[in-house]
Amino acid sequence: MTKKIVSLLLALVFALSLGAAALAAEGDTQVLNLRATAFGNNYDVQDMGWRWMMADCYEGLFRNVATLEDGEQFILAGAESYEVNDEGTVYTFHLRQDAKWSDGVPVTAQDYEYGWKRLVNPEYAYDYASFIYNVVGAEEYSTGTGDADGVMAVALDDYTFQVTLKIPDSTFLSKLVATPLYPTRQEVAEAAGENWGKDWTLCVYNGPFCMSELVEDNRMTWTRNEYYWDAANVGLDAVNWYLVAEDATATIMFDNGELDLLQTSGDYLIKYNQKVQNGEIAVWTTDYPSTYGLFFNFVTGGPDGLVANASIRKALCYAIDRDEMIEAVFGRYVPAYAWVAPAISFDGSSYRSQVVSPFLADAQTYVGDTDTLRALFQKGLEELGRDTDLSSANITLLSYGSTMENQTMREYLQQIWEQALGIKVTLNTVGDYSLFTAERDAGNYDLMVGSWSSDYNDPLDFLDTFHSNRYASYGKYNNPAFDALIDSLNGENDNAKRLAIYTEAEQLLADDCALIPIYHMTRDYFMQNWVKNFRTSSFGASQELYITYIDGRGN
């Protein structure tokens, strides 16, 4: 029996139907002023280049919205309903017939077909082509053994878009908020030629806003898209982005009311949290699907081969008191005892609420116990046949970045490891990412800094990064048992079985000490009290502004 889903997340419908602009106090100008630290220069949705802009000015089949009450949620957007066949391989999307581009031309299924086939067109070599390799014919076209006609992402008519998968994929729907799967107008993109994605004046938009002005190195403005299908419920007339590189300058602008939202760090967090407590401003704090950690050199075991040993890896991992470190260095974030972040949900609720963080038990055993940690490191030296004098052991940490926060973190880790373990720690610090990758590829490290921010809302996107055949395999971790667990998820749609496999795979990473998770990222947006209905998104736009409005600024 075909299952037809008419709507998603009815709990959010009330917010869309309120008519946000009508709620604003008389006299309020519906203009939101925001800060950017850099302006992107890539307007090609298939290229995922400038997601935080593109997902507010464009729209796919779904939108992703994070609410404080319910976490990450998906709502129908370009599609108004969809059907899935009994085998879970054919998805039929029924598009909104009132959706239009910013020039008034209807958004059709042909636009989705062209966008998806453009994504896997080998001529363009998009990084995210593999996102839809499970679509029949997509991988073949992308790798040169098939053609566009064989890609089964097709327009059945102007408002019916159908996708056929090779095997069932429980992560498929969660990927649909990613910008590479947004529609693209063929005649517009091809008329722009090599300038497509480079010249914003050649773009058309199907989202709540349109980019209307760009003053390089100064300001960017979006205005309301009058042709957006839900324009009546878009509260803002315009969004101004000001290029402000320095935190100090941004805080002055925020304090003066020149900026309506602010993200900041360090001592500024103390200042603004106090203002929140005093009721002077508001704050929006939410989990973000990103985990920061340290990753071992599994290629050579490091310059002296020490981190090839699991006992040594565990001693380094559990010498770190994450709670103390995060408070001392960052003043924000959530201590991490797992790789998969709390922002990731599974089967309708937080994955972390269902699976105990696998590094937690050992952390509770070892952290703060210097004698036991040193004995564990010495055990590793014995297993390697090395001198067990801890003072002769040298560990190299590879990192980059010159911010005070980065510098403090490096020095904190160096101090902790030297004091708790009695070893020597060398900091291999380089100025930028290109130098970092050169040192990484040369193997000049035992541990290196890194992070992962998920592209879709499923634990697999985190765990897959440690599969030995994946481009992001951190430190080149290679465990056939782990690979087999991840491979067994192919075509598996039983959520109970998937959860069991995810749990086992995460535990294996902890047993091997394949990494040192440090913190799960959170995001704090400080807001003027007149900003209403602000939302964020972890997998679409960073800041979902389509129902935001101003109430109480009085201008």
Q: Same domain for 193 and 308?
A: no
pLDDT-derived band at 474, boundaries 50, 70, 90: confident
Written as one string, the DSSP assignment of 113-129 is HHHHHHHT-TTT--GGG
Domain contains 246 = no
Q: Same domain for 310 and 173?
A: no
CA–CA dist 219, 536 (Å, integer)? 22
Domain contains 380 = yes
pLDDT confidence of residue 471? 65
Written as one string, the DSSP assignment of 279-319 is TSEEEEEEEEEEEEEEEE-TTTSSTTSGGGSHHHHHHHHHT
The length of the chain is: 555
Q: What is the pLDDT of residues 11-30, one digit of tens each?
A: 333 233 334 444 444 568 99
Comparison of pLDDT for 337 and 198, the residue scoring more? 337
Position 347 pLDDT exceeds 80: yes
pLDDT confidence of residue 67? 66
Position 96 pLDDT exceeds 80: yes
Domain count for the chain: 2
Q: What is the pLDDT of residues 38-65, one digit of tens each?
A: 877 788 999 876 766 677 899 999 988 7
CA–CA dist 6, 83 (Å, integer)? 9
CATH number at residue 180: 3.90.76.10
The mean pLDDT of 180-197, rounded to a whole number, is 95
Q: Same domain for 295 and 439?
A: yes
385 in Cβ contact with 379 (< 8 Å): no
Q: Same domain for 185 and 315?
A: no
Cα Rg of the chain, angstroms? 25
Amino acid in the structure at residue 102: S
pLDDT confidence of residue 472? 64
CA–CA dist 226, 208 (Å, integer)? 8
Position 389 pLDDT exceeds 50: yes
Q: What is the pLDDT of residues 267-325, one digit of tens each?
A: 788 899 999 999 999 998 888 899 999 999 999 999 999 999 999 999 999 999 999 99
What is the overall mean pLDDT for the chain? 90
Q: Same domain for 512 and 398?
A: yes
The mean pLDDT of 120-129, rounded to a whole number, is 94
CATH number at residue 470: 3.10.105.10
CA distances to 326, 384, 415 from 319, in Å: 14, 20, 11
CA distances to 35, 38, 251, 264, 274 from 271, in Å: 19, 25, 10, 11, 5
Q: Same domain for 457 and 340?
A: yes
> 460: domain range?
288-522
The mean pLDDT of 440-467, rounded to a whole number, is 93
Q: What is the dihedral of CA 462, 468, 469, 472, to 10 degrees?
A: 50
The mean pLDDT of 351-376, rounded to a whole number, is 95
Q: Same domain for 321 and 421?
A: yes
Domain contains 62 = yes
Domain contains 507 = yes
pLDDT confidence of residue 6? 34
CA–CA dist 450, 477 (Å, integer)? 14
Domain contains 485 = yes
Position 366 pLDDT exceeds 60: yes
Of 198, 218, 237, the one marking the end of a domain is: 198
pTM: 0.86
pLDDT-derived band at 8, boundaries 50, 70, 90: very low
The mean pLDDT of 158-165, rounded to a whole number, is 98
Comparison of pLDDT for 245 and 78, the residue scoring more? 78
- Using DSSP's 3-state secondary structure scheme, residue 522 falls into strand
131-140, 394-403, 404-413 — which one is most confidently predicted on average?
A: 131-140
pLDDT confidence of residue 13? 33
Position 465 pLDDT exceeds 90: yes
The mean pLDDT of 246-258, rounded to a whole number, is 94
Comparison of pLDDT for 6 and 553, the residue scoring more? 553
Domain contains 531 = no
289 in Cβ contact with 539 (< 8 Å): yes
% of the chain beyond a pLDDT of 70: 93
Q: Same domain for 183 and 302?
A: no
